Amino acid sequence: MNFEDIQAVKKLLSEPQKIVIVPHKNPDGDAIGSTLALWHYLKNRGQDATVVVPNDYPKFLKWMAGNDEILNYERENSQSKAKIEAATLIFTLDFNHLGRIGQMEEPLKKLTVPFIMIDHHQEPANYAEIMYSDVSMSSTCEMVYNFIDYLGDADTITPEMASCIYTGIMTDTGSFKFSSTTATTHRVAAHLIEKGAKNTEIHHRVFDTNTPGRLHLLGSALNNMVILTDYNTAYMTLSQEELDVHEYQKGDTEGFVNYGLTLEDIIFAVIFIENKEEGIIKISFRSVGNFSVNEFARNHFEGGGHNNAAGGKSNRTLLDTAAYFESLLPDYKSALNTHSIS
């Protein structure tokens, strides 16, 4: 964040504001952790702040302090709309174009109040007066830590805020293993633990929450895995029927895609998940090294994300989507075969 932006934020926050904090649709650990951490910070400064999420999120994220104060735009629609319409300042966190917030795009687009973006995805859209956008960052949570630090308030981080921030850093870095994890990320995590983040408990609360249904669903996904050694690629599929049989709950498929990357020599892993209700196939892409899944998702599956983690969707059937995906690979053969893992 540059000096002018920090000064502009300081000025905005020196006045009482009605603030709405928004993460992307289908919020993940980084989205919920960053919005709640910022919410605590703003409340502690005496601001009127509300987190409004576009839709529901998994149970394993619902333990963070402040969770019960979150408004769900789908479920608490009129209350959410009223907050948005009355807002004098909007923060958008962990996304960078308004197409990522589903139905909430409409009321937000109508606003004329300042927007502040805090985000680490590529190619930010131009809707925010103040943009703290940095693709080199591990997570939006690490950026919220920096944001608070830039405002001179790192020493005011409470144990609740520390746990929220730690959660998003942990989930977005795959527990500190992805290449976005820097020495600074570890320093921030260390400071958060000093500030009261319950690191062991957080790992347990987020990752040790399996149900028998989820493990059986993982079994189906692993069974369905197709390994394309010529392209160092592995993909999995899950049909709506398989989801139904194993009583799928939101968040159950989180992390499944990563299993493909645990195969030796596999550098590109994908999961295709049928969603009959929305009439789409939701896709997650992961890579290690320099193969950009962000570009791949952008070019072929109406998506995007980061170099090593991206998402997208398809309107074809599950089988046709997988076949179409396979048909794209020959064009990427050399990229998939000349990679370095770093």
DSSP state of 100: G
Could you tell which of ligand 5GP, Mn ion, none binds residue 309, using a CB distance below 5 to 8 A set by kind? ligand 5GP
CB closer to Mn ion out of 172 and 252: 172
The closest residue (CB) to Mn ion is: 30
Stretch that binds Mn ion, among 70-78, 129-137, 140-148, 321-329 (CB under 5 A): 140-148
Separation between Cα atoms, residue 96 and residue 5, nearest integer Å: 17
Could you tell which of Mn ion, ligand 5GP, none binds residue 142, using a CB distance below 5 to 8 A set by kind? none
DSSP state of 249: -
Question: Can you give 13-66 as a three-state secondary structure string?
Answer: HCCCCEEEEEECCCCCHHHHHHHHHHHHHHHHCCCEEEEEECCCCCHHHCCCCC
CB closer to ligand 5GP out of 59 and 187: 59
**Contact assessment for residue 41 and residue 34, using Cβ atoms and an 8 Å cutoff:** no
CB closer to ligand 5GP out of 130 and 310: 310
Distances (CA, A) of 243 to 249, 250, 288: 9, 10, 28
Does the footprint of Mn ion cover residue 254 (CB under 5 A)? no
Nearest CA to 138 out of 260, 308, 340, 342 is that of 308
Smallest gap, in angstroms, from Cβ of residue 218 to ligand 5GP?
16
In terms of Cβ atoms closer than 10 Å to its own Cβ (0-12, 13-18, 19+), residue 94 is buried
DSSP state of 176: T
CB closer to ligand 5GP out of 9 and 221: 221
Stretch that binds Mn ion, among 30-38, 227-235, 306-314, 329-337 (CB under 5 A): 30-38
Q: Give the interface with ligand 5GP as residue ranges (CB under 6 A).
A: 24, 284, 303-306, 309-313
Binding mask 69-108 toward Mn ion (x if CB under 5 A, else -) reads -------------------------x--------------
Show the tokens assigned to 247. 């009583």
Range 300-339, binding Mn ion (CB under 5 A): none
Residues that bind Mn ion (CB under 5 A): 30, 94, 140, 172
